[in-house]
Amino acid sequence: MTAGIPYPEALAAWRARMPALPQALDLPVPDLLRGFHPDQQPDATVPLRVGASAGQPCRAELAALLHADALVEDVDIAGAPTLDTDVLVIGGGGAGCVAALTAARAGARVALATKLRLGDSNTVMAEGGIQAAVGPDDSLQRHFEDTLRAGQFAADKALVAALISDGPAVIRWLIQEGMGFDLAEGSDRMGGTLLRKKPGGATAARLLSYRDFTGLEMMRALREATLLAPGITLLDRHPALELLTDDRGRCAGAALHDLARGRTVLARAGATVLATGGAGRLHIAGFPTSNHYGATADGLVLAYRLGATLREIDSFQYHPTGIAWPPYLEGQLVSESARSSGAALVNGLGARFVDELNTRDVVAAAILREIVEGRGIVRDGYAGVFLDTPGLEQTKPGILGKSLVTLTHLARRAGLDAAAEPFLIRPTLHYQNGGVLIDPEGRSGIPGLLCAGEVTGGLHGRNRMMGNALLELVAFGRRAGRNAAADARGERPRNVGLTHLAAWRRSLIAQDLPLSRKAPLLFPPYGNFNAVTDRGRAA
């Protein structure tokens, strides 16, 4: 039986003490993270045994895929239909669309391969907003310092500087592409001021949003622009099975799986951009996830087998406010916009226990501490804490219906009135902090291979600030797309195949790792799709 305070008792305690007074964390942050953050628990990681990052700590669920053999061999691609293009972009979310648009507008012929449908990605699930230092009381330096501090000073300063310096231009570009943003009160559409809110861990109000579905609005604009752009060939439902190489070790495109026809397709390219997203559907440490169905670490697996270096692959972000009850909504998020607007976190005693606008790693660990130490709230065997949305509505009448639209819809799906009853929440696996090592231009170190978005590492260190993910996918999508177009104009790949696999298989054998394990996964196990046996038939 899960320990904690029964829901009826906790509800009574919340009502008796509402509104609960702010309360500072009563444990030093390093001790809190060491004791309660999932990444820092005993036996959380294993060392990688092969590849360019051998010896690095890695979550076991991910290491199993990074230690695997390829899904295809030379015989599988012999005679496969072939597409030749200048730039191949793998991934149909925000970063992929931005990279494809930028490369095409630079004059490149672009093929954009998606695993699911165009736009089915984590981008559409980003609710809170996008950070950019555009306010008169803010600066690029403050955004830079906030980002480094939130990431425990583990981020690559050159990457962070590139991200932050692109911020204002990214917002202008998005507005030009047709994306809407909320305006400050009293503004009009002809000359308004962007509404800015203060995200967790920030020293200034720099979070720009569109209600509480900013990522969905961004993806709408990007998807429309991509579909209308000349020079882009869309390959819907074509997940990547393996990257291709030429006889000089350059990345030369990818072997794709056409899900509709059940066949392999070769896409040969002068430059390839990986924008495949993260690894949430691996359910690290057994957590539910907010990630979309295709988030199975494919890009990490493919880039690593080609020789790319990885970093911070033992570090994942757990969004503090995932739904804990009802169980059919596990993994759904209550946007950080609620806490940015003033919603409090309350334990089963009716007390607050952390600054709700601290960084996500701290807030998530503080919630898990309340649950572990018995101050959590238990309902039908599911434990969490309260997010006090009724208190927010009481303080700011009308905010739930006007600004937090997605939250209100989510409450209805949960069968509750968010203005009268608090959400029961607990942390949910949300983001992959690490990934492929890149330079500020998006290049991976493997000739011909660039990366953008969540598949990359170095920007966020060991914890990502809210709003920096949407900024990253545009800033580095543009950088990777621009440089991929330039690289594709250089020397073209020749003698294209799977030449890198022989050395990879030798390294697996040398470490007594089985060749029978195959990756990438493509879809989570509960999808009942076998990437080996199902390749020969339509899906």
Q: Is-catalytic flag, 339? A: yes
pTM over 0.75: yes
For position 492, what pLDDT does the model report?
80
Q: HEC states along 262-326?
A: CEEEEEEEEEEEECCCCCHHHCHHHCCECCCCCCCCHHHHHHHHHCCCEECCCCEEEEEEEEEEC
Q: Is-catalytic flag, 375? A: no
Question: Do 365 and 294 have their domain in common?
Answer: no
For position 527, what pLDDT does the model report?
83
Length of the chain: 539
Give a yes or no: residue 96 inside a domain. yes
Question: Do 347 and 374 have their domain in common?
Answer: yes
Residue ending a domain, among 430, 445, 473, is 430
Question: Do 271 and 309 have their domain in common?
Answer: yes
What range does the domain containing 209 cover?
Answer: 74-315+433-488
With H, G, I as helix, E, B as strand and everything else as coil, classify residue 146: helix
DSSP string of 349-393, one letter each residue: TS---S-TTS-HHHHHHHHHHHHHTT-SEEETTEEEEEEEHHHHH
Q: Which residues lie closer than 8 Å to 100 by C-beta, 6 or more apart?
A: 87, 89, 110, 112, 226, 229, 232, 273, 481
For position 535, what pLDDT does the model report?
58
Question: Do 373 and 476 have their domain in common?
Answer: no
**Chain-centre distance of CA 234, in angstroms?**
23
Phi, psi of 89 (to 5 degrees): -110, 125
Q: Which residues lie closer than 8 Å to 503 by C-beta, 6 or more apart?
A: none
On whether the CB atoms of residues 454 and 278 are closer than 8 A, the answer is yes
Q: Extract the residue ranges of the chain whose pLDDT is less than 70.
A: 1, 188-191, 531-539
On whether the CB atoms of residues 113 and 254 are closer than 8 A, the answer is yes
Average of per-residue pLDDT values in the chain: 95
On whether the CB atoms of residues 100 and 112 are closer than 8 A, the answer is yes
Domain CATH code at residue 475? 3.50.50.60
Looking up tokens 């991929």 gives: 484
Selecting among 319, 369, 464, 478, the annotated active-site residue is 319
Over residues 246-299, the pLDDT tens digits come to 988 999 999 999 999 999 999 999 999 999 999 999 999 999 999 999 999 999
Give a yes or no: residue 60 inside a domain. no
For position 539, what pLDDT does the model report?
47
Question: Do 253 and 341 have their domain in common?
Answer: no
Over residues 408-460, the pLDDT tens digits come to 999 999 999 999 999 999 999 999 999 999 999 999 999 999 999 999 999 99
Question: Do 119 and 219 have their domain in common?
Answer: yes
Give a yes or no: residue 452 inside a domain. yes
Question: Do 194 and 243 have their domain in common?
Answer: yes
User: Residue 93 gets which letter from DSSP?
Assistant: S
Residues facing 429 on adjacent strands: 289, 318
Selecting among 37, 105, 339, 379, the annotated active-site residue is 339
Question: Do 266 and 292 have their domain in common?
Answer: yes
Question: Do 229 and 122 have their domain in common?
Answer: yes
With H, G, I as helix, E, B as strand and everything else as coil, classify residue 425: strand
Alpha-carbon distance of 489 to 484, in angstroms, equals 9
Give a yes or no: residue 537 inside a domain. no
Structure tokens belonging to residue 296: 């199975």
For position 76, what pLDDT does the model report?
92
For position 375, what pLDDT does the model report?
98
List Cα–Cα distances, 497 to 18, 253, 438, in angstroms.
Answer: 65, 9, 24
Residue ending a domain, among 430, 445, 463, is 430
